Amino acid sequence: MASIRFDRIGKSFGETEIIKNLDFSVNDGEFMVFVGPSGCGKSTVLRMIAGLETISTGELWIGDRVVNDVHPKDRDIAMVFQSYALYPHMSVYDNIAFGLKIRKLPDADIRKRVQDAADLLGLDKLLDRKPKALSGGQRQRVALGRAIVRNPSVFLFDEPLSNLDAELRVQMRAEISKLQRRLNTTTVYVTHDQVEAMTMGQRIAVLSACDKAHPRDTNLMQCGSPMDLYDRPDNIFVARFIGTPNMNIVHARLGDDGATLSSLGGSMPVSAQFKEAAQARRGQEVMLGIRPEHIGAPHEVDWPQIQAVQGQVEMVELLGHEAILHFRVGEQIMVGRLHSHGRLPSPGDTVTMHLKCEAIHLFDPVTELRLR
Amino acid sequence: MANMKTRNHIWLHLGLISFTLLAIYPVLWVLALSFSGQQSVGLIDLPQDPSFLERLRAILPVPEHWSVKNYTEVWTEQQFGRWLWNSVVISLMTTLLGVFLACTAAYAFSRFRFPGRNTGMLMFLVSQMFPGTLMLIPLFIIIVKQLELGNTYLGLVIVYATTSIPFCVWMLKGYFDTIPYDIEESALIDGASRLTIFWRIILPLAKPAIAITALFSFMTAWNEFILASVFMESEANYTAPVGLRFFVGGFSSQWGYFAAGSVIVSLPVVALFLQLQKYLISGLTAGSVK
The percent of residues above 70 in pLDDT, for chain A, comes to: 98
Domains in chain A: ranges and CATH: 4-241 (3.40.50.300), 248-363 (2.40.50.140)
User: What is the pLDDT at residue A145?
Assistant: 92
Pick the range with the lowest mean pLDDT from A62-66, A208-212, A243-247, B169-173.
Answer: A208-212
Q: List the A186-191 sheet strands across, edge first.
A: A77-80, A154-158, A186-191, A31-35, A203-207, A220-224
**Distance between CA atoms of A7 and B244, rounded to whole angstroms?**
75
**Distance between CA atoms of B156 and B149, rounded to whole angstroms?**
8
**Distance between CA atoms of A3 and A277, rounded to whole angstroms?**
36
pTM assigned to the model: 0.79
Number of domains in chain B: 2
Q: Are residues B60 and B113 in the same domain?
A: no
Q: Are A208 and A221 in contact (CB under 8 A)?
A: yes
Residue A148's contacts (CB-CB under 8 Å, 6 or more residues apart) are A78, A117, A120, A121, A155, A179, A183
Q: How many C-beta neighbours within 10 Å does residue B169 have? A: 26
Residue B75 included in any domain: no
Q: Are residues B215 and B118 in the same domain?
A: yes
Task: Residue A99: list chain B partners with CB under 8 A.
Answer: 190-191
Domain boundary among B40, B67, B94: B67
**Distance between CA atoms of B191 and A67, rounded to whole angstroms?**
16
CA distances (Å), B227 to each of A153, B94, B160, in order?
61, 14, 9
Q: Are residues B56 and B92 in the same domain?
A: no
CA distances (Å), B9 to each of A143, B23, B219, in order?
55, 21, 37
Give pLDDT tens digits for A276-288. Answer: 888 888 888 889 9
Residue A318's contacts (CB-CB under 8 Å, 6 or more residues apart) are A340, A344
Residue B74 included in any domain: no
Tell me which residue of B219, B189, B186, B184 sits closest to B205, measured CA to CA: B184
Which structural domain, as residue segments, surrounds residue B25? 2-67
User: What is the pLDDT at residue A165?
Assistant: 85
Alpha-helical runs (H) found in A56-193: 92-102, 107-121, 136-148, 166-183
Residue A71's contacts (CB-CB under 8 Å, 6 or more residues apart) are A51
User: What is the pLDDT at residue A264?
Assistant: 81
Mean pLDDT in consecutive groups of 10 residues from the start of chain B, 290 residues: 81 94 91 85 77 81 82 82 91 94 94 90 87 83 87 90 90 90 90 90 89 88 88 86 82 83 89 81 49
Q: Is A282 on the interface with B (CB under 8 A)?
A: no
Task: Residue B191: list chain A partners with CB under 8 A.
Answer: 73, 99, 102-103
User: Taken in order B115, B118, B124, B127, is the CA torsion positive or negative?
Assistant: negative
**Which residue among A77, A102, A150 sits closest to B196, beta carbon to beta carbon?**
A102
Q: How many C-beta neighbours within 10 Å does residue A286 have? A: 22
Q: Give the residue from A13, A43, A52 with the most B CB atoms within 10 Å of its CB, the best one to mutate.
A: A52
- For residues A54, A33, A65 and A114, what is the CA-based torsion angle, rounded to 10 degrees? -100
pLDDT at position A96 over 90: yes
User: What is the pLDDT at residue A372?
Assistant: 81
Q: What are phi and psi of A53, to 5 degrees?
A: -125, 145
Mean pLDDT of A249-275: 84
Q: Are residues B15 and B99 in the same domain?
A: no
Residue B73 included in any domain: no
Residue B124 included in any domain: yes
Give residues 61 to 120 of A whose Cβ lies within 8 Å of B: 72-73, 77-79, 81-83, 85-89, 98-99, 102-103
Bridge partners for A266 per DSSP: A263
Q: Are residues B6 and B124 in the same domain?
A: no
pLDDT at position A335 over 90: yes
Residue B38 included in any domain: yes
Give, as one character, the DSSP assignment of residue B10: H
User: What is the pLDDT at residue A213?
Assistant: 66
Instruction: Examine residue A131 and say whether the peptide bond preceding it is cis (omega within 30 degrees of 0).
Output: no
Most confident of A38-52, A128-142, B9-23, B74-88: B9-23
Query: Given the DSSP bridges, would you call strands A203-207 and A31-35 parallel, antiparallel or unpaired?
Result: parallel
User: What is the pLDDT at residue B15?
Assistant: 94
Mean pLDDT of A104-115: 92
Residue B266's contacts (CB-CB under 8 Å, 6 or more residues apart) are none
Q: Are residues B240 and B272 in the same domain?
A: yes
Residue B224 included in any domain: yes
Q: Are residues B98 and B200 in the same domain?
A: yes
The percent of residues above 90 in pLDDT, for chain A, comes to: 35
Q: Are A309 and A265 in contact (CB under 8 A)?
A: yes
Q: Are residues B29 and B150 in the same domain?
A: no
User: What is the pLDDT at residue B283?
Assistant: 55
Residue count of chain B = 290
Residue B17 half-sphere exposure toward CB, CA atoms < 13 A: 6
User: What is the pLDDT at residue B4?
Assistant: 80
| Alpha-carbon gap: B181 to the closest alpha carbon of chain A (Å) | 9
| Residue A122 CA from chain centroid, whole number | 28
Cβ contact (<8 Å) for B186 and A77? no
Q: Are residues B60 and B89 in the same domain?
A: no
Q: Are residues B155 and B60 in the same domain?
A: no
Pick the range with the lowest mean pLDDT from A47-56, A205-214, A318-327, B109-118.
Answer: A205-214
Q: How many C-beta neighbours within 10 Å does residue B81 have? A: 14
Q: What are phi and psi of A136, to 5 degrees?
A: -55, -45
**Distance between CA atoms of A96 and A9, rounded to whole angstroms?**
33
Q: Are B246 and B238 in contact (CB under 8 A)?
A: yes
Residue B230 included in any domain: yes
Q: Band of the pLDDT at A203, cuts 50, 70, 90?
A: very high
Tell me which residue of A252, A266, A228 sits closest to A353, measured CA to CA: A266
Q: Are residues B99 and B216 in the same domain?
A: yes
B119: domain CATH number is: 1.10.3720.10
Mean pLDDT of A84-108: 91
User: What is the pLDDT at residue B287?
Assistant: 43
Domain boundary among B67, B90, B110: B67
Q: Are residues B252 and B173 in the same domain?
A: yes
Q: Are A156 and A188 in contact (CB under 8 A)?
A: yes
| Alpha-carbon gap: A196 to the closest alpha carbon of chain B (Å) | 23
pLDDT at position A258 over 70: yes
Cβ contact (<8 Å) for B187 and A87? yes
3-class SS shares of chain B: helix, strand, coil, % to 5: 75, 0, 25
**Which residue among A50, A77, A83 sits closest to B180, beta carbon to beta carbon?**
A83
Residue B58 included in any domain: yes
